[in-house]
Amino acid sequence: MSSHTQPEPVERIDLRQLPTWERHDRMIAAFDRLGPHQIVEFINDHEPKALRATLEAEREGILLWDMRNLGDGRWLIRITRLPEPAVGGEAPRVSFLRRCTMFRNAPVETLREVDRMAKERTYHDRMVIVAEGTNWAEFGIVRRGVVEVTRATDEDREIVLYDVPSYHGFNEAAVFDEGTAEVTVIARGDVDVLEIPAQFMRQLITRVPEVSTGCARYFAQRQRRLTSAAGNLAFGRVLTRIARVLLDYASSDEGLAKGIGGVERITQSDLAARVGTVRDMGSRALSHLEDMGAIQLRRGRVVMLNRAALEEIVRTGKTPASAEIAPAAGENASGS
């Protein structure tokens, strides 16, 4: 059994008082001051998906990202500097597994065992990986790309519950309660997935405490994400709900800027499914957001986003009178 204990950060930085476009430089500068295995800790006021994508691309192979939603409007991010790949000597998939929350503190012998048991498959755009109501006896971890987790409503309308990016998993409910899949999982673009046998995963958590703890934390964070998504669907206007979804793809640059990878693949129908509305309502909301300078569209798809404008819409829940959207057929007055 490993007696792994995580070292204390050498520096703690609160990013909340900085403009979003200054946070990248502050984080990268702090990271570059670290020695191997040292940690820097940040507090942020939102889940910084765009920052993560940028930092991991700029410091590929030597940056370990650990993040948790503290539940009070604060996000805690701990970044560890890893040894250079030539020094570490780990197999590529073992190195990948170490970056996944549930395996982060697992002994290297366990990571090698998972690597031996896992198979890797590539799925192409819009391919169904897991179908709701079926028995898919694998725990999936996205190695490259993004998958959508969706659920069909009683009216046969599909709602996107959340995305699963690289280093994150899916099908955990069916794996650990041994039931059928309660959601459908679909590839968005080309996706590489590690598939770990369900029975092996159930055995692993009974004998490796570090994996058990990692799984518990991972599921707790997913619960927070689902709670946030449910609140957005239940209480937000369509315009606000779409702005909140698009925030995940907005970079930290000032003004209108190119979104992080994947946003260009989202159609108007996809966005409508994510916020529980019909396509016509989603299309009108996007047009209003463009008029307000929050996004830029090209052929009906979002290509540029203004993080500050989107944050203001989400924070205040207020929009100009010209941006109020009348309900379409099938929508009630609250836009739900």
Q: Are residues 277 and 305 in the same domain?
A: yes
If one compares 141 and 50, the residue with the highest pLDDT of the two is 141
Residue 61: domain span = 11-89
If asked whether residues 140 and 229 sit together in one domain, one would say yes
CATH number for the domain that contains residue 46: 3.30.110.40
Compute the mean pLDDT over every residue in the chain, rounded to the nearest whole number: 83
Instruction: Indicate whether 47 and 135 sit together in one domain.
Output: no
Of 203, 233, 263, which residue sits at a domain end?
233
47 occurs within a structural domain? yes
Helical ranges in the chain per DSSP H: 20-32, 49-58, 85-88, 92-98, 108-117, 172-177, 198-207, 209-235, 238-247, 268-275, 279-291, 307-316
What's the structural domain count of the chain? 3
Indicate if the pLDDT at residue 87 is higher than 60. no
Confidence of residue 183 (pLDDT cuts 50, 70, 90): very high
Rounded to whole angstroms, the Cα distance separating 279 from 60 reads 38
C-alpha span between 269 and 263 (Å, rounded): 13
Mean pLDDT for 69-80 is: 89
CATH code of the domain covering residue 303 = 1.10.10.10
Q: Specify the length of the chain in residues.
A: 336
- Model confidence at 16: pLDDT above 60: yes
More confident residue, 175 or 16: 175
Q: What is the CATH number of the domain that holds 228?
A: 2.60.120.10
Statement: residue 4 has pLDDT above 70: no
What integer is the mean pLDDT of 309-313?
Answer: 86
Rounded to two decimals, the pTM is: 0.64
Tell me if 103 is assigned to some domain: no
Strand 119-123 and strand 184-197: the pairing is: antiparallel
At residue 1, the pLDDT reads: 44
Q: Is residue 294 part of a domain?
A: yes
- Which range is least confidently modeled, 16-25, 119-128, 173-182, 185-194? 16-25
Residues 244 and 275 placed together within one structural domain of the fold = yes
Rounded Cα–Cα distance for residues 275 and 273 (Å): 6
- Beta strands 11-14 and 39-44 are parallel
Query: Can you give the pLDDT at residue 137?
Result: 95
Going by C-alpha positions, the residue among 299, 270, 273, 268 that lies closest to residue 285 is 268
147 and 203 in a common domain: yes
Q: Tell me the percentage of the chain whose pLDDT exceeds 70.
A: 87
**pLDDT at residue 146, rounded to an integer:** 86
Do both 257 and 271 map to the same domain? yes
Helices (H), 68-190: 85-88, 92-98, 108-117, 172-177
The string of pLDDT tens digits covering residues 280-295 is 888 888 888 998 899 9
More confident residue, 263 or 39: 39
In a domain, 111, yes or no: no
In this prediction, residue 117 has a pLDDT band, given cuts at 50, 70 and 90, of very high
Residue predicted with more confidence, 128 or 144: 128
Query: Between the ranges 127-131, 147-151, 265-269, 321-325, where is the mean pLDDT highest?
Result: 127-131
* Residue 187 and residue 295 in one domain: no
Confidence check: pLDDT of 58 > 50: yes
What gap in Å lies between CA 44 and CA 14, rounded to an integer? Answer: 7
Q: Are residues 224 and 240 in the same domain?
A: no
Residues 232, 275: contact at Cβ < 8 Å?
A: yes
Dihedral angle of Cα 139, 141, 146, 148, to the nearest 10 degrees: 20
Determine phi and psi for 148, rounding to 5 degrees: -105, 135
| Distances, alpha carbon 129 to alpha carbons 67, 133, 150, 186, 315, in Å | 27, 13, 11, 6, 35
- In this structure, the answer to whether residues 81 and 31 fall within a common structural domain is yes
Q: Is residue 69 part of a domain?
A: yes
Residue 148: which of 102, 100, 188, 193 has the closest Cα? 188
Question: Given a cut of 90, is residue 179 above it in pLDDT?
Answer: yes
Residues 69 and 55 placed together within one structural domain of the fold:
yes
Does 192 lie in the same domain as 267?
no
Domain finish residue from 209, 233, 257: 233
* 244 and 232 Cβ atoms separated by less than 8 Å: yes
Same structural domain, 149 and 217: yes
Is residue 105 included in any domain, yes or no? no
pLDDT band at 88 (very low <50, low <70, confident <90, very high): low
Residue 185 lies in a domain: yes
Per the domain annotation, does 212 fall within a domain? Answer: yes
Residue 308 above 90 pLDDT? no
Residue that finishes a domain, picked among 233, 261, 294: 233
pLDDT at 267: 80
